[in-house]
Structure 1
Amino acid sequence: MGLMTLVEDRPTPKAVYNWRVYACAAVASFASCLIGYDSAFIGTTLALPSFTKEFKFAELSKDQLALVKSNIVSVYQAGAFWGALFAYVVNYFWGRKWSLVLWALIVVVGAGMNLGATGERGLGLIIGGRVLAGIGIGGASMVVPIYISELAPPAIRGRLVGIYELGWQMGGLVGFWINYGLTKTMAPSHRQWIIPFAVQLIPAGLLFIGAFWLKESPRFLLAKGRRQQALDNLCWIRNLPADDLYIVEEVAFIEAALDEQRRVIGAGFWKPFQAVARDRMTQWRFFLGGMLFLWQNGSGINAINYYSPTVFASIGITGTSTSFLTTGIFGVVKTTLTFVWLLFLIDKLGRRKLLMGGALGGSLCMWWIGAYIKIAGTKPSSSGHLSSGGTATVFFFYLWTAFYTPTWNGTPWVLNSEMYDQSIRPLGQAWASANNWFWNFIISRFTPQMFNSMGYGVYFLFSSLMILSIPFVYFLIPETKSIPLEAMDRLFAVKPASKANKVVLDELRDQEAEFRADAKDADLRVKSNMKAEYRESV
């Protein structure tokens, strides 16, 4: 089997893998471009001499400066936490498409507020705008993975949800390099630091405009009883006629799952909450989904994303331009490896192997970095350049990036977009997104203080958490690759988790064979009756 081989749950027409489903995923993923851009640009912008001079950072003590920086960064994550929770309400009543329109509009307004900040006015407009933009992006982060997973054929679901992660990295790539370019081409000024804030409006505007073009999720429409619109949208997305067997089967599977869920938990805004409260299996999946983001943030990625100049200074890299260049290379490595993850790994190797392998390799790299800083300190050599040990440490930092990016960076989002059934998927995704932003907030809020007080111990903390994630994944997370969304209840019921994927795929193939055999028998009976009626008429 080649790297691009698709493992299908049933025979699938080639027309299903068409440009439309990829285009819908790409448009929705402008939301992740915003997330990636913010995580990359804000740390380097706070380090720009023009920004630090305008807002008088030099007059602050070390602890005061750490507090101001952490507040500017973390209010975005705090807003995103609440946005992810609010998104459940909007998503339930408005659906996926119109939710995205609303959240994109909020981001545009929040990003626009940042542009009014000056040294005389203070940081209020930046902080207030980042809170508002965070609310919008938190809502979008809840909606987009659900929307993409509900549109995606099972064989490429990981790849399509991975476009969301790719957008994250593309936005991050721009964010990591923009301030390096500005320091090389523009003298320090108000305009120098306001440009990075203004660039946020580009992906935000594209998301807002593009969301009007998107088709509403057929699963959402069927859940709301709008069957004809759901069928029309599904046929457009799959590029197949309504009477094609693949469409007939897919609608039948979705409706059967919806009927079962209505029978078990009922329909209504509060029913998913009641289902979670009384069903231990559902509670268990909520726990797993939330923990995945604890382990993801525990790897140290957002400490590096938001405070890359601080992180590289801890290794011994000095100078604004050099620090920004090192950060920019970090962004290139992440983006390149995200393409590898998206095209070759997520739907080929699956989720479990990626998470465990990435955690092991990444942890070893973090141990090296922490040990080097403990032994050698962070001062560059007398020549002003890194020592050979420091250069090796930078190599291990990039090696850590190579382990982390194609594994933990996007895979938790893929898993959380898949693991909940239709009736609780919006609530489950809201919970997962809120968990992501909560742990993101904790890291972004306290990273400066952690580096001030713990030093090299920060890297030992991250490496230990990565090691602890391995048994968590092995014993508790089943492989979701190629499993239809409607079969996730069964997948999480099979024990042990390491064998659940094979068991469920075998069951699905048996069901498919029975379905087609029944369809063939029914067709033969119809033809036989038609022949009999014809003979009688003659």
Structure 2
Amino acid sequence: MTASTADHTQTTLPPLSTGPHRRRIGVISLIACFGGLLFGYDTGVANGAERPMQLELGLSDLSLGVVISSLVFAAAFGALFAGKISDAIGRRKTIIILSIMFFLGTVLVVTSPGFELLVAGRIMLGLAVGGASTVVPVYLAELAPFEIRGSITGRNELAIVSGQLAAFVMNAIIGNIWGHIDGVWRIMFALCAVPAVCLFIGMLRMPESPRWYVEKGRNDKALEVLKTVRTEERAIAEIADIERIAAEENREKSHGGLRAILSNKWLIRIVLIGMGVAMAQQLTGINSIMYYGQRILIDAGFAENAALIANIAPGIVAVIGGIIALRNMDRLDRRTTFAIGLSLTTFFHLCIGIASILLPEGMAARPWILLVLIVAFVFSMQTFLNVAVWVWLAEIFPLHIRGLGIGISVFFGRTVNGILALYVPTLIENMGITGTFFLFAGVGVIALIFVITQVPETRGRTLEALEEDVTTGAIHVHHSKKR
């Protein structure tokens, strides 16, 4: 099937309509996004819990960096292996397993008497975080109609920042009321158990991905699921399209997984681009704010308790930005949002660095001006970059390597994130805000050039049409013509 044929196929599908099937998609996305909520809370809770935890356990800055970054490094491996596992046993079963890991990891962290068990708990949480970041977007993308795939898949990123905001708010409340109590950080972490239970119970009643069923030759089950989230006419037309592309792919490939990628130069290229997009997202330094926001604000000039409260502001604008991003996700091209996002984040990196030079320490306005600039950076990131990145990663890979492709991409992104999480406390200590944000700005320029020259567009096309063009390399021809 040629690219033009693929485009024609998606335009001749029966139109999307309202009804119980649309509400069913909403319920499925709500339940699955508890995985994103857990992702956000487990990564955000350290921002506020890390200082009392460091004091109680007597951790050095490097040991603290190990505790914080252990989750992130584990998330890299969780993303890599969960993607492959979800290709083998299904998206739904994998998410259920991840919910159990979220719960057990929380128990280990809350009951840990010292450094070793604490790191073990953070590693288990990290494996679950990485797995959720890979499997949940794919699950949503494979269930959503292509017309609203961006907004449905993007809900997971909104859930992530909502989880981070919830962590910041609860940390501020718990820290200011019970901050004098030993072990207050354990209370902060314990709240992670609630959404883990909700995810486990909810996913027991959710369907499997119809596209995964087709990949496994269970076409009747796939149609059965599609009829619950589409009109019957649309479900029948769509399953025929999915089956046709799957059959063509099965004829062309004699193996799957990594061997399938290495046997096709276009698949190698798209995986490399996916890795680049995931790393570019992390190299903006967004998670340095989300992990160490209180520490950065203290360095800017806030008192400790004031920094804990001020730290809520980036969380609030992250949620607002995520809502705006969802509204625009099916209206603006993915590449356009990437370019706008990287341009704005790089600009605010420069502004923060310059402001920290020009505003002397001790100046009353200094912490507030820096807070405004940090908030503007987070808002730009969430509105124009974070949601689009996760949606694009969930769309771009062909079905037979989708879990592995996004897993490899997220693995490299999370590895970069882990390196930043490990060294940001030391970086801030030695370079201050000025050097840290100038460094992020330099990397942002490189990332912007990469996105403009290499990243193909995915909006407004079915997964099957994208799959054909990615496999044959036609998607890069379309991309070069648009430039």
**TM-score between the two structures when normalised by the length of structure 1:** 0.83
Following TM superposition, by how much is the alpha carbon of 1:496 offset from its aligned partner in structure 2, in angstroms? Answer: 4.9
Out of 272, 275, 300, the residue aligned to residue 290 of structure 1 is 275
Which residue in the other structure is 1:12 paired with?
15
Following TM superposition, by how much is the alpha carbon of 1:188 offset from its aligned partner in structure 2, in angstroms? Answer: 1.5
Q: Does the CA-based 8 Å contact 2:72-2:417 persist in structure 1?
A: yes
1:411-448 Cα distance to aligned partner (Å, 9 max, x none): 11111100011111111121122122211111111111
Q: Does the CA-based 8 Å contact 2:241-2:464 persist in structure 1?
A: yes
Query: Which structure carries more relative contact order (alpha carbon 8 Å, separation 6+)?
Result: 2
1:81 partnered with 2:76: yes
- Opposite residue 15 of structure 2, the aligned amino acid is T
Q: Does the CA-based 8 Å contact 2:172-2:308 persist in structure 1?
A: yes
1:358 partnered with 2:352: no
Which residue in the other structure is 2:420 paired with?
443
Unmatched runs of 5 consecutive residues or more in structure 2: 1-9
Following TM superposition, by how much is the alpha carbon of 1:372 offset from its aligned partner in structure 2, in angstroms? Answer: 2.1
- Opposite residue 426 of structure 1, the aligned amino acid is G
Identity %: 26
Following TM superposition, by how much is the alpha carbon of 1:309 offset from its aligned partner in structure 2, in angstroms? Answer: 1.6
RMSD: 2.0
- Relative to structure 1, is the Cα distance of residues 182 and 337 closer, same or farther in structure 2, using a 3 angstrom cutoff? same
Out of 53, 57, 62, the residue aligned to residue 55 of structure 1 is 57
Q: Distance in 2 between matches of 1:137 and 1:465?
A: 25
- Opposite residue 493 of structure 1, the aligned amino acid is A
* 1:48-197 equivalence runs, <5 A: 48=52, 51-57=53-59, 65-117=60-112, 121-197=113-189
Which residue in the other structure is 1:452 paired with?
429
Out of 380, 386, 404, the residue aligned to residue 381 of structure 2 is 404
Q: Does the CA-based 8 Å contact 1:479-1:501 persist in structure 2?
A: no
Out of 362, 367, 376, the residue aligned to residue 380 of structure 1 is 362
Q: Does the CA-based 8 Å contact 1:360-1:470 persist in structure 2?
A: yes
1:183-204 Cα distance to aligned partner (Å, 9 max, x none): 3322511352211110110111
1:116-169 Cα distance to aligned partner (Å, 9 max, x none): 12xxx3222221111112112222222111111100101110101111001101
- Opposite residue 97 of structure 2, the aligned amino acid is L
Q: Distance in 1 between matches of 2:54 and 2:223?
A: 56
Q: Distance in 1 between matches of 2:346 and 2:104?
A: 40
**TM-score between the two structures when normalised by the length of structure 2:** 0.92
- Relative to structure 1, is the Cα distance of residues 495 and 74 closer, same or farther in structure 2, using a 3 angstrom cutoff? closer
Q: Distance in 2 between matches of 1:163 and 1:21?
A: 12
1:493 partnered with 2:474: yes
Following TM superposition, by how much is the alpha carbon of 1:499 offset from its aligned partner in structure 2, in angstroms? Answer: 6.4
1:467 partnered with 2:445: yes
Out of 297, 316, 323, the residue aligned to residue 339 of structure 1 is 323
Following TM superposition, by how much is the alpha carbon of 1:408 offset from its aligned partner in structure 2, in angstroms? Answer: 1.7
- Relative to structure 1, is the Cα distance of residues 106 and 357 closer, same or farther in structure 2, using a 3 angstrom cutoff? same
Following TM superposition, by how much is the alpha carbon of 1:452 offset from its aligned partner in structure 2, in angstroms? Answer: 2.1
Name the SS of the counterpart of 1:115 in structure 2: helix
Following TM superposition, by how much is the alpha carbon of 1:44 offset from its aligned partner in structure 2, in angstroms? Answer: 0.8
Out of 303, 313, 317, the residue aligned to residue 329 of structure 1 is 313
Name the SS of the counterpart of 1:348 in structure 2: coil
Name the SS of the counterpart of 2:451 in structure 1: helix
Following TM superposition, by how much is the alpha carbon of 1:284 offset from its aligned partner in structure 2, in angstroms? Answer: 0.7
Which residue in the other structure is 2:263 paired with?
278
1:260 partnered with 2:263: no
Q: Distance in 2 between matches of 1:83 and 1:261?
A: 27
* 1:181-330 equivalence runs, <5 A: 181-238=173-230, 240-241=231-232, 244=233, 246-266=234-254, 271-317=256-302, 319-330=303-314
Query: In terms of mean alpha carbon deviation, does 491-500 or 141-150 score higher?
Result: 491-500
- Opposite residue 490 of structure 1, the aligned amino acid is D
Name the SS of the counterpart of 1:453 in structure 2: helix
Q: Distance in 2 between matches of 1:501 and 1:370?
A: 35
- Relative to structure 1, is the Cα distance of residues 187 and 44 closer, same or farther in structure 2, using a 3 angstrom cutoff? closer
Unmatched runs of 5 consecutive residues or more in structure 1: 1-7, 58-64, 503-538
More helix by share: 2
1:349 partnered with 2:341: no
Name the SS of the counterpart of 1:441 in structure 2: helix
Q: Does the CA-based 8 Å contact 2:294-2:311 persist in structure 1?
A: yes
- Would you say how many aligned residue pairs link Structure 1 and Structure 2? 468
- Relative to structure 1, is the Cα distance of residues 53 and 69 closer, same or farther in structure 2, using a 3 angstrom cutoff? closer
Following TM superposition, by how much is the alpha carbon of 1:248 offset from its aligned partner in structure 2, in angstroms? Answer: 2.3
- Opposite residue 380 of structure 1, the aligned amino acid is G
Following TM superposition, by how much is the alpha carbon of 1:374 offset from its aligned partner in structure 2, in angstroms? Answer: 2.8
1:24 partnered with 2:28: yes
Q: Distance in 2 between matches of 1:99 and 1:500?
A: 39
- Opposite residue 250 of structure 2, the aligned amino acid is R
Following TM superposition, by how much is the alpha carbon of 1:212 offset from its aligned partner in structure 2, in angstroms? Answer: 0.7
Q: Does the CA-based 8 Å contact 2:54-2:64 persist in structure 1?
A: no
Following TM superposition, by how much is the alpha carbon of 1:356 offset from its aligned partner in structure 2, in angstroms? Answer: 0.7
Structure showing greater Rg: 1
Q: Does the CA-based 8 Å contact 1:84-1:135 persist in structure 2?
A: yes
Q: Distance in 2 between matches of 1:430 and 1:316?
A: 40
Q: Distance in 2 between matches of 1:179 and 1:88?
A: 32
Q: Does the CA-based 8 Å contact 1:216-1:233 persist in structure 2?
A: yes
Following TM superposition, by how much is the alpha carbon of 1:337 offset from its aligned partner in structure 2, in angstroms? Answer: 1.3
Q: Does the CA-based 8 Å contact 1:474-1:498 persist in structure 2?
A: no
